[in-house]
Structures are given as C-alpha cells and as structure tokens.
C-alpha cells in the first residue's frame, strides 16, 4: 500500500521537499502533459503514467529513503513539481539527481535549491560516493542547473529508456568534490 501522506523529507529556505499527497497527482499529471516541460523527457504522458511515476517514487522512498519527490513552495504551499535522487535505468549502479517543475515556476532557482538539498542529503546522510545527472545536449536549462550545482561534464552516451533511444550528456560530482578539498592539516 502506497503512503500518500506527504511526509516532509527536507526543508530549504523556500521549499519543502516531501513525498507526494494524493491531491498533488492532478497537478503532477498536468506538468507531465505539458509539451515544453517534457520536451527533453520523452514527451507528454497521460494521467495514468504520471500517477505510476509518482507511485514508483513513493515506493522508492519507502524502500531506500530517496526518490523523485514533491517540491512545495513554503510561502503558499504551491506544488511546483518534483526533485530528488533515484537510480536511472540506463545507469543502475549510479544515483541520479533529477528535477521536473511546472513551467510557471521556471527561472526562480527552485530546481537548483531543491537539487542542492538532495545532493547534500545524498552525500552527507546516504554517503553516496558520486551522483550523476543526465539530459540531452540541447537542454540548456538543465545543463545550467547542473553547472550551478557544481556537477561537471562526465561523458556523452547514446541511451535507451522505455524503448526510446536518445543522445545524452552525463554530468557528475563526487562526494569529495561536493565537500570541497580535504584540509590535510
């Protein structure tokens, strides 16, 4: 049974990062159906597939304490989209940081703020040695977020996901890179 309680996981100055609530699902489906939002994510999906992604995220959080979970704006409770850590199918031994926000909330630094909190959690709490982020080379907005987070170009690859092939760039950051250089003294 999936828990739809909206469990608070992380807080940032402007955001609450939490599991999904049932009342998030229509707004999540709306952003997942938006052609501009999903341009580099395989294109729009329907409500059933959107709900299945949210359910998968909830189950991953219940199992491993990570997932692509809800992002809520603290000041007014607005549902902005999702962000978090997960295992990206083409790289099952890696952990990826990812985000997807409704178009109305782009350009406010919310993706960077949410992803930064998840990276800190991944490195300091989960003790992941490295985190990646994957997008298409033309996705300048996501590439800019990756760079702001300190991720660096790792490699390019031709990947397949759910039967769709696409060319991708992979950025990464290690735990040591996140923490900065270790002081030998």
Catalogue all structural domains in the chain, each as residue range(s) with its CATH number: 8-179 (3.40.630.30)
Judge whether residue 185 has pLDDT over 70.
no
Strand 130-135's sheet: what is its strand order?
8-11, 15-18, 67-73, 79-86, 96-101, 130-135, 164-174, 152-161
Mark out the alpha helices in the chain (DSSP H runs): 25-32, 47-64, 110-124, 140-148, 175-179
Residue 48 has which token pair?
Answer: 């059933």
Per-residue pLDDT, 184:
46
Residue 82: burial class (beta carbons within 10 Å; 0-12, 13-18, 19+): buried
Q: Is the dihedral of CA 34, 40, 43, 48 positive or negative?
A: negative
Give the contacts of 62 (CB within 8 A, at least 6 positions apart): 3
The CA–CA distances, whole Å, from 163 to 80, 100, 166 equal: 28, 21, 10
Q: What is the Cα 153 distance to its own chain's centre?
A: 18
* CA atoms lying within 13 Å on the CB side of residue 86: 21
Per-residue pLDDT, 32:
97
Q: What is the pLDDT of residues 133-164, one digit of tens each?
A: 999 999 999 999 999 999 999 999 999 887 88
SS3 41: coil
Mean per-residue pLDDT of the chain:
94
Q: What is the pLDDT of residues 52-81, one digit of tens each?
A: 999 999 999 999 999 999 999 999 999 999
Q: What is the pLDDT of residues 12-35, one digit of tens each?
A: 999 999 999 999 999 999 999 999
């Amino acid at each position: 049974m999936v828990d739809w309680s909206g469990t608070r996981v992380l807080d940032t100055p402007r955001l609450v990062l939490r599991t999904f609530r049932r009342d998030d699902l229509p707004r999540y489906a709306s952003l997942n159906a938006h052609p501009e939002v999903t341009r580099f994510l395989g294109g729009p999906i329907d409500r059933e597939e959107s709900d299945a992604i949210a359910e998968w995220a909830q189950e991953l959080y219940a199992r491993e304490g990570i997932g692509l979970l809800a992002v809520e704006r603290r000041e007014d409770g607005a549902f902005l989209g999702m962000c978090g850590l997960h295992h990206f199918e083409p790289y099952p031994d890696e952990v990826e940081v990812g985000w997807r926000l409704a178009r109305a909330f782009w350009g406010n630094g919310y993706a960077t703020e949410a992803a930064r909190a998840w990276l800190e959690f991944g490195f300091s709490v989960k003790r992941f040695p490295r985190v990646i982020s994957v997008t298409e080379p033309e996705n300048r907005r996501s590439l800019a977020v990756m760079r702001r987070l300190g991720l660096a170009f790792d490699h390019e690859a031709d990947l397949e996901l759910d039967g769709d092939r696409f060319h991708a760039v992979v950025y990464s950051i290690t735990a040591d890179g996140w923490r900065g250089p270790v002081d030998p003294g």
